[in-house]
Structure 1
Amino acid sequence: MRLLFAAAAVALLSQAAVAQTQTEQNPGLNPAINFKPKGSPESTGAVAPGANSFTEGQARSRIEALGFSDVSDLRKDDQGIWHGKAQRDGRSVEVMLDYRGNVASK
């Protein structure tokens, strides 16, 4: 019984260590703002209006982190959504970024 308890404790502690290591490897990733690392698919039209505190540089960085390149003509509309142009998979697309960090393209 004692051995079983010890094995369960080790298993729980090792899971916590793995979770901590993954967070340390990705500082700045905050799931509360739905930021997706490079290579993840972008949001599909799920941008929402709101008080956007991203600077133009931060908006560009977030869009580029999702695999877009040549991000240009960024402007923030009166609903707090950044709009611009970019390249993705060899084609020109319009991109949008909302206050939560969600990116959509069309």
Structure 2
Amino acid sequence: MRKQLIVLTILAATASFGAHAQTSTTSPMPAPKADADKNAPLPGANSFTEGQAKSRLEANGYTNIGELKKDDNGVWKGSATHGGAKLTVSVDYRGNITRN
């Protein structure tokens, strides 16, 4: 009986860990504001694809997102609409969104 309890405990822990390890959440909000983020967009090696940068903008209420281009500093730049205004937007490697 004790051996079965140990096996069931291990199976439950493994199943729980496996489900947790496969769960991925990406917050639509910009990265937490660190002191450096106040200078966004930050230059750096950007691992976002154009589609991921666009999705991040959409999740933050931007629409009519035009083609995004990655500049020499690794920042995705393009145009989008937010609150009815057409803007120039940027998404840096930390996920910070800036607009003009």
TM range, smaller chain: 0.5 to 0.7
Cα displacement string for residues 65-96 of structure 1 (whole angstroms, at most 9, x for unaligned residues): 11100111210001100000000111100000
Instruction: Judge conservation of contact 1:45–1:105 (CA < 8 Å) in 2.
Output: no
Number of aligned positions between the proteins: 72
Q: Which of the residues 23, 43, 58 maps onto 1:49? A: 43
Unaligned runs of 5+ residues in structure 2 are 1-23
Could you say which residue in structure 1 is the equivalent of 2:12? none
Indicate the RMSD between aligned Cα atoms, in angstroms.
2.4
Could you say which residue in structure 1 is the equivalent of 2:64? 70
Residue type of the alignment partner of 1:98: D
Over alpha carbons, which structure has the higher Rg? 2
Percent same amino acid at aligned positions? 45
In the TM superposition, 1:1-106 aligns within 5 A as: 27-29=24-26, 34=31, 46-106=40-100
Unaligned runs of 5+ residues in structure 1 are 1-26, 36-42
Instruction: Judge conservation of contact 1:59–1:82 (CA < 8 Å) in 2.
Output: yes
**d(CA) in 2 for partners of 1:105, 1:44:** 13
> Whose strand fraction is larger, Structure 1's or Structure 2's?
1
